Amino acid sequence: MRLAIGGLPGSGTTTLARLLSERLGIPMVSSGELFREMANERGLSLSQFGELCERTPEVDREIDERMRRASREMDSGIFEARLAAHFAIADLKVWLKAPAEVRAMRVAQREGIEVERALSVMLEREKSEHTRYMKYYGIDLHDLSPYDVVLDSHTFNPEQLAEIVLCCIAQLSSGR
């Protein structure tokens, strides 16, 4: 089984991917981990590497290509990235959503910053990503049609989200 999990910052994609990885006993490939790995390879801090990605489309595209390659090479796995449904080979594609204010509170807690600051940085990042993804790939992040399931992580907690996805997997498996 290959799962693609996408969502905007603070939507809970990493939390859900980790839960499912543990429950299913399959590996997880995270775009955040790829990002950190690539920054480390270049001897850059995360913020320096982020700036490099903004200026250098080839570096940004390399992250997506590593995700694509990993999904081709693995028989099963969970691929967590904003564009996972577009680049990972997956049997089930899940998008997590939540209101911006809720996501900002999560990001603020995770990063140890003020909610207002988290919201501002998050919205700026999303604007940049929307522009880059449209320019590089013609992908509109507002178009959720590539996803099989769209779940609200404000309505459901991580355990409930995992149960819903596991039910979807069971349904897919029984239909084969």
Digitized pLDDT (tens) for each residue of the chain, 176 residues in all? 899 999 999 999 999 999 999 999 999 999 888 888 888 999 987 778 877 877 888 887 888 888 888 888 888 999 999 888 998 889 999 999 999 999 999 999 998 999 999 999 889 888 888 888 898 889 999 999 999 999 999 999 999 999 999 999 999 988 75
11 marked as binding residue: yes
Q: What is the distance between the alpha carbons of residues 10 and 8, in angstroms, rounded to a whole number?
A: 6
161 marked as binding residue: no
**For residue 129, how many other CB atoms are within 10 A of its CB?**
17
13 marked as binding residue: yes
Q: What is the distance between the alpha carbons of residues 108 and 114, in angstroms, rounded to a whole number?
A: 6
Q: What is the pTM of this model?
A: 0.88
Architecture field, domain 2-99+145-174? 3-Layer(aba) Sandwich (3.40)
14 marked as binding residue: yes
146 marked as binding residue: no
In contact, 5 and 71? CB cutoff 8 Å: no
9 marked as binding residue: yes
